[in-house]
Protein backbone atom coordinates (compact mmCIF):
# COMPACT_ATOMS: atom_id res chain seq x y z
CA UNK A 1 0.00 0.00 0.00
CA UNK A 2 2.95 2.36 0.38
CA UNK A 3 3.44 2.66 -3.38
CA UNK A 4 -0.25 2.85 -4.30
CA UNK A 5 -0.92 5.49 -1.64
CA UNK A 6 1.99 7.61 -2.88
CA UNK A 7 0.76 7.27 -6.48
CA UNK A 8 -2.75 8.35 -5.47
CA UNK A 9 -1.42 11.38 -3.58
CA UNK A 10 0.76 12.35 -6.53
CA UNK A 11 -2.12 12.22 -9.04
CA UNK A 12 -4.47 14.03 -6.64
CA UNK A 13 -2.36 17.15 -7.28
CA UNK A 14 -3.14 17.11 -11.01
CA UNK A 15 -6.21 18.83 -12.50
CA UNK A 16 -7.56 16.66 -15.34
CA UNK A 17 -10.70 18.73 -16.03
CA UNK A 18 -9.17 20.57 -19.06
CA UNK A 19 -9.48 17.27 -20.96
CA UNK A 20 -13.27 17.18 -20.59
CA UNK A 21 -15.22 16.27 -23.75
CA UNK A 22 -12.02 15.64 -25.73
CA UNK A 23 -10.73 12.43 -27.30
CA UNK A 24 -7.56 11.61 -25.36
CA UNK A 25 -4.88 8.99 -26.00
CA UNK A 26 -2.65 8.03 -23.06
CA UNK A 27 0.94 7.33 -24.11
CA UNK A 28 2.40 5.13 -21.36
CA UNK A 29 5.55 3.80 -23.05
CA UNK A 30 7.76 5.85 -20.71
CA UNK A 31 6.18 4.38 -17.57
CA UNK A 32 8.53 1.63 -16.40
CA UNK A 33 8.41 1.16 -12.66
CA UNK A 34 7.10 -0.87 -9.75
CA UNK A 35 3.31 -1.33 -9.94
CA UNK A 36 3.28 -0.06 -13.53
CA UNK A 37 -0.25 -1.36 -14.13
CA UNK A 38 -1.61 0.53 -11.12
CA UNK A 39 0.05 3.78 -12.19
CA UNK A 40 -1.36 3.57 -15.73
CA UNK A 41 -4.84 2.56 -14.66
CA UNK A 42 -4.91 5.34 -12.03
CA UNK A 43 -4.08 7.96 -14.68
CA UNK A 44 -6.79 6.53 -16.96
CA UNK A 45 -9.28 6.62 -14.08
CA UNK A 46 -8.60 10.28 -13.36
CA UNK A 47 -8.83 11.22 -17.03
CA UNK A 48 -12.25 9.58 -17.19
CA UNK A 49 -13.37 11.33 -13.99
CA UNK A 50 -12.22 14.61 -15.54
CA UNK A 51 -14.59 14.05 -18.47
CA UNK A 52 -12.11 12.84 -21.10
CA UNK A 53 -13.01 10.26 -23.74
CA UNK A 54 -10.18 7.73 -23.89
CA UNK A 55 -9.40 6.30 -27.32
CA UNK A 56 -7.26 3.21 -28.08
CA UNK A 57 -5.31 4.71 -31.00
CA UNK A 58 -3.29 7.89 -31.36
CA UNK A 59 -4.89 8.59 -34.77
CA UNK A 60 -8.33 8.89 -33.14
CA UNK A 61 -7.24 11.41 -30.50
CA UNK A 62 -7.56 15.17 -30.26
CA UNK A 63 -5.03 15.34 -27.42
CA UNK A 64 -2.19 13.08 -26.29
CA UNK A 65 -1.20 12.75 -22.64
CA UNK A 66 2.32 11.41 -22.15
CA UNK A 67 3.15 9.96 -18.73
CA UNK A 68 6.52 9.09 -17.24
CA UNK A 69 7.70 7.71 -13.90
CA UNK A 70 10.58 9.54 -12.24
CA UNK A 71 10.84 7.48 -9.06
CA UNK A 72 8.46 4.99 -7.50
CA UNK A 73 9.64 2.87 -4.60
CA UNK A 74 9.92 2.39 -0.85
CA UNK A 75 12.47 2.71 1.94
CA UNK A 76 12.43 2.08 5.67
CA UNK A 77 14.29 3.15 8.79
CA UNK A 78 14.38 2.13 12.43
CA UNK A 79 15.39 4.20 15.46
CA UNK A 80 15.24 3.75 19.22
CA UNK A 81 16.15 5.44 22.48
CA UNK A 82 17.93 3.13 24.90
CA UNK A 83 21.12 1.14 25.35
CA UNK A 84 22.56 -1.45 22.97
CA UNK A 85 23.66 -4.91 24.00
CA UNK A 86 26.95 -4.73 25.94
CA UNK A 87 29.33 -7.67 26.39
CA UNK A 88 31.32 -7.48 29.62
CA UNK A 89 34.39 -9.49 30.61
CA UNK A 90 33.68 -12.82 32.22
CA UNK A 91 30.92 -14.04 29.88
CA UNK A 92 28.54 -11.39 31.19
CA UNK A 93 26.22 -9.62 28.75
CA UNK A 94 23.92 -6.70 29.38
CA UNK A 95 20.82 -7.04 27.19
CA UNK A 96 19.63 -4.39 24.81
CA UNK A 97 17.09 -2.02 26.32
CA UNK A 98 14.76 0.06 24.18
CA UNK A 99 12.76 2.71 26.01
CA UNK A 100 11.23 4.24 22.89
CA UNK A 101 11.29 2.66 19.43
CA UNK A 102 10.10 3.87 16.05
CA UNK A 103 9.75 1.84 12.86
CA UNK A 104 9.02 3.93 9.80
CA UNK A 105 8.35 2.91 6.19
CA UNK A 106 7.89 5.35 3.32
CA UNK A 107 6.73 5.16 -0.26
CA UNK A 108 7.67 7.78 -2.87
CA UNK A 109 6.03 8.48 -6.22
CA UNK A 110 7.28 11.03 -8.76
CA UNK A 111 5.10 11.10 -11.87
CA UNK A 112 5.53 13.42 -14.84
CA UNK A 113 2.78 14.40 -17.28
CA UNK A 114 2.76 16.43 -20.48
CA UNK A 115 -0.07 16.99 -22.96
CA UNK A 116 0.04 18.11 -26.59
CA UNK A 117 -2.19 18.40 -29.64
CA UNK A 118 -2.40 15.18 -31.64
CA UNK A 119 -2.32 16.98 -35.01
CA UNK A 120 0.01 19.96 -34.54
CA UNK A 121 2.10 18.49 -31.68
CA UNK A 122 1.87 21.84 -29.92
CA UNK A 123 2.18 21.47 -26.12
CA UNK A 124 -0.81 22.33 -23.98
CA UNK A 125 0.73 24.13 -21.02
CA UNK A 126 4.08 23.33 -19.48
CA UNK A 127 3.17 19.97 -17.93
CA UNK A 128 5.31 19.08 -14.95
CA UNK A 129 6.18 16.60 -12.21
CA UNK A 130 4.07 15.62 -9.23
CA UNK A 131 5.87 14.28 -6.15
CA UNK A 132 4.24 12.67 -3.11
CA UNK A 133 5.24 10.54 -0.14
CA UNK A 134 3.29 8.00 1.90
CA UNK A 135 4.36 6.73 5.30
CA UNK A 136 3.54 4.08 7.86
CA UNK A 137 4.90 4.65 11.38
CA UNK A 138 4.80 2.36 14.42
CA UNK A 139 5.89 3.52 17.89
CA UNK A 140 6.66 1.41 20.96
CA UNK A 141 7.16 2.68 24.53
CA UNK A 142 8.73 0.28 27.03
CA UNK A 143 7.64 -2.62 24.86
CA UNK A 144 4.01 -1.43 24.66
CA UNK A 145 2.57 -0.78 21.23
CA UNK A 146 2.41 -0.30 18.38
CA UNK A 147 1.00 3.22 18.31
CA UNK A 148 0.32 3.69 14.62
CA UNK A 149 0.40 6.80 12.46
CA UNK A 150 1.00 7.96 8.91
CA UNK A 151 -0.94 8.29 5.68
CA UNK A 152 -1.46 4.51 5.31
CA UNK A 153 -3.19 4.27 8.67
CA UNK A 154 -5.30 7.33 7.81
CA UNK A 155 -6.37 5.83 4.47
CA UNK A 156 -7.41 2.56 6.13
CA UNK A 157 -9.46 4.40 8.76
CA UNK A 158 -11.19 6.57 6.15
CA UNK A 159 -11.88 3.54 3.98
CA UNK A 160 -13.66 1.77 6.82
CA UNK A 161 -16.05 4.63 7.58
CA UNK A 162 -17.04 5.80 4.07
CA UNK A 163 -20.82 5.79 3.72
CA UNK A 164 -22.76 5.07 0.54
CA UNK A 165 -23.76 8.14 -1.43
CA UNK A 166 -21.13 10.36 0.18
CA UNK A 167 -19.80 12.96 -2.27
CA UNK A 168 -16.06 13.50 -2.39
CA UNK A 169 -13.50 14.97 -4.77
CA UNK A 170 -11.04 12.22 -3.89
CA UNK A 171 -10.99 8.79 -5.46
CA UNK A 172 -13.76 6.97 -3.56
CA UNK A 173 -12.84 4.14 -1.21
CA UNK A 174 -15.98 2.23 -2.25
CA UNK A 175 -16.54 1.48 -5.92
CA UNK A 176 -19.95 1.80 -7.60
CA UNK A 177 -21.15 2.29 -11.15
CA UNK A 178 -24.33 4.03 -12.32
CA UNK A 179 -26.80 2.21 -14.54
CA UNK A 180 -26.86 3.30 -18.20
CA UNK A 181 -29.63 5.83 -18.92
CA UNK A 182 -32.79 4.27 -20.26
CA UNK A 183 -33.34 4.86 -23.98
CA UNK A 184 -36.41 6.75 -25.12
CA UNK A 185 -39.27 4.42 -26.00
CA UNK A 186 -39.93 4.11 -29.72
CA UNK A 187 -43.28 5.56 -30.69
CA UNK A 188 -45.30 3.05 -32.70
CA UNK A 189 -47.64 4.17 -35.47
CA UNK A 190 -51.27 4.59 -34.53
CA UNK A 191 -53.35 1.45 -34.60
CA UNK A 192 -50.47 -0.98 -33.93
CA UNK A 193 -50.91 -3.62 -31.27
CA UNK A 194 -48.09 -5.71 -29.79
CA UNK A 195 -49.05 -9.21 -28.75
CA UNK A 196 -47.03 -11.83 -26.99
CA UNK A 197 -47.03 -14.07 -30.08
CA UNK A 198 -46.07 -11.37 -32.56
CA UNK A 199 -47.23 -8.11 -34.09
CA UNK A 200 -50.66 -7.46 -35.50
CA UNK A 201 -51.79 -4.32 -37.24
CA UNK A 202 -55.20 -2.86 -36.66
CA UNK A 203 -56.26 -0.41 -39.31
CA UNK A 204 -58.00 2.70 -38.07
CA UNK A 205 -61.67 2.94 -39.01
CA UNK A 206 -62.49 5.25 -41.89
CA UNK A 207 -64.65 8.19 -41.01
CA UNK A 208 -67.81 8.58 -43.00
CA UNK A 209 -68.24 11.89 -44.75
CA UNK A 210 -71.20 14.04 -44.07
CA UNK A 211 -72.67 13.16 -47.53
CA UNK A 212 -72.36 9.38 -47.10
CA UNK A 213 -75.67 7.55 -46.47
CA UNK A 214 -76.86 4.00 -46.16
CA UNK A 215 -79.07 4.31 -49.24
CA UNK A 216 -78.75 1.78 -52.10
CA UNK A 217 -76.22 2.53 -54.80
CA UNK A 218 -78.93 3.29 -57.47
CA UNK A 219 -80.46 5.88 -55.14
CA UNK A 220 -77.26 7.87 -54.61
Of these ranges, 55-69, 145-159, 167-181, 205-219, the one predicted with the greatest mean pLDDT is 55-69
Burial label for 10, CB within 10 Å (0-12, 13-18, 19+), is: buried
Q: Over range 109-129, report the average pLDDT.
A: 92
Any idea where the domains of the chain sit in the sequence?
Answer: 2-86+93-159
Question: Of all helices (H) and strands (E), which one includes residue 18?
Answer: none
Q: Is the pLDDT of residue 211 over 60?
A: no
Q: What is the pLDDT of residue 89?
A: 86
User: Which is more confidently placed, 149 or 213?
Assistant: 149
* Chain segment 153-208, per-residue pLDDT in tens: 888 887 777 565 555 555 554 444 443 454 444 444 444 434 343 444 455 555 55
Q: What is the pLDDT of residue 153?
A: 86
Q: What is the pLDDT of residue 31?
A: 94
| Domain 2-86+93-159: CATH architecture, name and number where available | 3-Layer(aba) Sandwich (3.40)
Q: What is the pLDDT of residue 159?
A: 76
User: Please, which pLDDT band fits residue 91 given cuts at 50, 70 and 90?
Assistant: confident
Q: What is the pLDDT of residue 127?
A: 87
This prediction has a pTM of 0.67
Q: What percent of the chain has pLDDT over 90?
A: 50
Q: Is the pLDDT of residue 87 over 80?
A: yes
Q: Would you tell me how many other CB atoms lie within 10 Å of the CB of residue 30?
A: 12
User: Which is more confidently placed, 83 or 167?
Assistant: 83
CB-based contacts of 117, cutoff 8 Å, min separation 6:
62, 63, 64, 124
Sheet (strand 63-83) strand order: 53-54, 23-30, 63-83, 97-117, 128-141, 144-149
Amino acid sequence: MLVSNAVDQSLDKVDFTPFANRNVFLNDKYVDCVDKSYVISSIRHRLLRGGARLVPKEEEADLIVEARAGAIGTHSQEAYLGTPEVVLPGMLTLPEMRLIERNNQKGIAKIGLVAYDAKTRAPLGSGGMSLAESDDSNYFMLGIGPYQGGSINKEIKEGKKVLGGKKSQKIPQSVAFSSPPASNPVLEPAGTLHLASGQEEKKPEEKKSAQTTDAPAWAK
